[in-house]
Amino acid sequence: MERNIKLTIEYDGSHYHGWQCQKDVASVQETLSKAIKKLTGEDIMPEGAGRTDEGVHAYGQVANFRTKSSIPAEKFTPALNTHLPEDIVIVSSEEVDPNFHARFSAKGKHYRYIVLNRPQRSAIWAKRAWHVRGELDFEAMVKASQYFVGRHSFKAFCASGHNIKNFERTIFLSQWRREGDLLIFDTKGEGFLYNMVRIMVGTMVDIGKGRFKPEVIKEAIETGERNNLGVTAPPYGLYLMEVYY
């Protein structure tokens, strides 16, 4: 009998070309697929909830796969971990309903973005945060972040080249906090468009630099125009924290 197994996965994305399997480069998905093959002998490509880009990290990526193996669901955690490299770990595993799909069943996601704001780069946060030099107007960034909350069209916050028709998304949380030199942005929403969190953060950092006023967010949401917005923040400051079902 085939069972549907849900995995919660943590990874340091520094050495992977993102989640999704691609030809000739290392991906988290393919590394996981190989570990499953070693364990059960099956050729399985687990489906992930979020297709994180190259360099993006995850504390709580979710994936599912169907298996004929008789291994108890919770035993997949320690068993897969013995076949995974140091920078990928299964945090938990459980059997789920046959209809569960990591991506299509997801009700929401929590992303975090970490900015390091100080004159010098960091040795310890090198691949884990975006280093931004120069003073930032943190209050302006906080004000800007509040315009995201609610149900809006986020067309202006979506990388082009994707065949998406519905740009409406609901954001539940959009919040900055400061820990020493680190500026930490948490956002939770029912879903995010391609590169959306990175464009949100890049624009808010430009607001912090004084290039735009916080109200530019409100205008971009209303007009759907990308051309006035700031840079796309780099991937290595981004963390997929949790997926909600």
Q: Is 35 exposed, middle or buried (0-12, 13-18, 19+ CB in 10 A)?
A: buried
- Contact residues for its own copies (CB under 8 A)? 10-12, 57, 59, 77-78, 81, 86-92, 119-124, 126-128
Least Å from the CB of residue 239 to its own copies: 8
Q: Which of 43, 53, 181, 186 is catalytic?
A: 53
CA 159 to chain centre: 15
Q: Which is nearer to its own copies, 122 or 232 (CB)?
A: 122
Q: Which is nearer to its own copies, 57 or 169 (CB)?
A: 57
Nearer to its own copies, 39 or 149 (CB): 39
Q: Which is nearer to its own copies, 126 or 164 (CB)?
A: 126
Q: In the block, which residue shows the tokens 């006023």?
A: 213
Least CB distance from residue 29 to its own copies, whole Å? 15
CB of 84 to its own copies, least distance (A): 8
Q: How near is the Cβ of 156 to its own copies at its closest, in Å? A: 31
Q: How far is the CB of 224 from its own copies (least distance, A)?
A: 36
Quickly list DSSP for the chain.
Answer: --EEEEEEEEE-GGGSS-SS-BTTB--HHHHHHHHHHHHH-----PEESS-PPTT-EEEEEEEEEEE---S-GGGHHHHHHTTS-TTEEEEEEEEE-TT--TTTT--EEEEEEEEEESSS--SSSTTTSEEE-S---HHHHHHHHHTTSEEEE-GGGS-SS------EEEEEEEEEEEETTEEEEEEEES---TTHHHHHHHHHHHHHTTSS-THHHHHHHHH---TT--PPPPGGGEEEEEEE-
Structure tokens at 148: 């995201």
**38/121 with CB nearer its own copies:** 121
Catalytic residue status for 53: yes
Catalytic positions are 53
